[in-house]
Structures are given as structure tokens and as C-alpha cells.
């Protein structure tokens, strides 16, 4: 799911393997390092990660960041 508002893009991704707050932090930290990302909110309970960025993100960059954190990007939610 992607939505554009006020020159920002909000995209929701589905990530598998997150089970706790530490997982949320690891995923958020890695995705926050992608250029243009302004906020990340990860929810282990649903596996959803909401990313706000200045422009649409390359899904492969998001996949690489999630992989670096030790989890798997299932795709956009």
C-alpha cells in the first residue's frame, strides 16, 4: 500500500520474523538508513512496517535493509 501526501510517500510493507520490540527496533534502524526515509514504524504483532519517505523507495533497497536486520520482506502490505 502506498499513499502520497504533502510531497511525502507512505508505504506499508509486510515483514516476517519480527516477534518483539527488539525486532521492531532492528528493522526500523536499518530502514531509517535508506536515503529519503523520514520515519519508520514497525509493529511486530502485525508484521507491518510503515515507512514515510520523500519519494517512492526502491523495494530492493528496503529488502536489503530488512535482510541486514535479519528478517524477510514479504512485499508491500
CA-closest candidate to residue 42, choices 74, 68, 20, 64: 20
Mean pLDDT to the nearest integer, 47-60: 97
The reported pLDDT for the residue numbered 5 is 59
- Grid coordinates of 14: 509486510
Between CA 5 and CA 14 the distance in angstroms is: 21
* Per-residue pLDDT at 1 exceeds 80: no
Write out pLDDT tens, residues 5-52: 568 999 999 999 999 999 999 999 999 999 999 999 999 999 999 999
Amino acid at each position: 500500500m502506498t499513499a502520497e501526501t504533502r510531497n511525502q510517500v507512505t508505504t506499508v510493507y509486510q515483514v516476517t520474523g519480527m516477534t518483539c520490540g527488539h525486532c521492531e527496533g532492528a528493522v526500523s534502524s536499518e530502514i531509517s538508513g535508506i536515503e529519503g526515509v523520514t520515519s519508520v514504524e514497525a509493529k511486530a504483532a502485525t508484521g507491518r512496517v510503515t515507512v514515510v519517505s520523500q519519494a517512492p523507495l526502491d523495494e530492493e533497497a528496503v529488502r536489503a535493509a530488512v535482510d541486514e536486520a535479519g528478517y524477510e520482506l514479504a512485499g508491500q502490505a
